[in-house]
Amino acid sequence: MRLVTKSLVIGFLSISHVISFGQNSEKHKSVSVTDISINAGPVFGTNHAWNTQDFIKLAPNSRLANDDLTGYSASNYGMYSYGPMIGPSTASQVSLQLGLSFKKKDGSAMKGSPLLRLGLNYRSESLFNGYLGRTDRFAYDTLISNATGNAHYVDSVYSYSYDMRYFVQQLHVDASLVYRTNKEKRASFYGGIGMMLGLGVNPTTEISYHSSKYTEIINNSNQYTYGSYVGGYGTSEHEMEKTRNNIAFSGSLYVPLGVDLKFSTKNEFWKRVHWTFELRPSVNFFHSPEIGMLTSFSSYHGIGMRFNLK
């Protein structure tokens, strides 16, 4: 994480230096850096459909991935799980951007106040989430109530599960062009089109195995009394493997839609400070050397601050 933060800062400063140099030349007087912004928030989307072969490709030397999974079924329960079908997923994202404004040759503002935003974007997410489970149940004992004479059956339960996920951090160069309503008002709205291109760094596949052995009492309504242990009989085992994967390529095409709210309309300093809330419906692509091309849809919900330099 520290390395990613340093990369974001260094890259952002490099972009600032290049743009500032361009502003000093006569050729680029109609373009100027007018603001700097930062925003962060969750990304809601869909996990990719998975099967055990995906994790064998991602972790070919894993003993757990190559276990005999006969009798196991996918479920919506588990540490990272959403089952074999496509399900909900969340990621976290942060963006640093510089805003470039354009003017006509006579120095007047262009219609729609177009703003070209250039910067860097960091996202961390789990692309594959899988869970497989199996439960074996055997008759263990029968208990007779002294008070009622009712029989209560005790089962021995053996539970086994595999949690699997493919986790990656993505570092992107981010560019978008947005058009805004009257920026002189306290609240303004904007929309446009954007694109991100970059790398999936530190990709990791995690596979964990958990087994437990315990007893359960079945009451007269044929309901299980979970967590009931007889004679202290209850054990569990846990094992985890991590595999470092190859660097991947990733990117997005998105539509930025946002609200911009000034802190103040009178104070000269606070007029420059803005709250922003931005949605980014996106089409994403991700190419992994192990599993090939993946595509997905998502929506970023970011809250941030923007500071006008002019």
The Cα–Cα gap between 234 and 249 comes to: 46
Q: List, for residues 47-100, the tens digit of each pLDDT value.
A: 677 788 888 999 999 999 888 888 888 754 444 333 333 445 668 999 999 999
How far apart CA 199 and CA 251 sit, in angstroms, is 8
Q: What is the pTM of this model?
A: 0.74
The predicted structure's pLDDT at residue 228: 46
Q: What is the reported pLDDT for 153?
A: 73
In this prediction, residue 23 carries a pLDDT of 46
- Give the model's pLDDT for residue 286: 94
The answer to whether 157 touches 215, Cβ cutoff 8 Å, is: yes
End-to-end CA distance of the chain: 33
Q: Which two tokens stand for residue 265?
A: 């309309």
Provide the pairing of β-strand 115-144 with 88-102.
Answer: antiparallel
* Single-letter code of the amino acid located at 239: E
Task: Please tell me the distance from the alpha carbon of residue 282 to that of residue 301, in angstroms, as a whole number.
Answer: 11
Domain boundaries, the chain: 2-308
Q: Which residues of the chain have pLDDT under 50?
A: 3-5, 7-10, 12, 14-16, 18-28, 76-87, 222-233
Phi and psi based region of residue 202 (left: phi greater than 0; alpha: psi -120 to 50; beta: remaining): left
Q: Hey, what's the torsion of the CAs at 291, 292, 293, 297, to 10 degrees? A: 10
- How confident is the model at residue 76, as a pLDDT? 43
Q: What is the pLDDT of residue 142?
A: 67
pLDDT at 230: 42
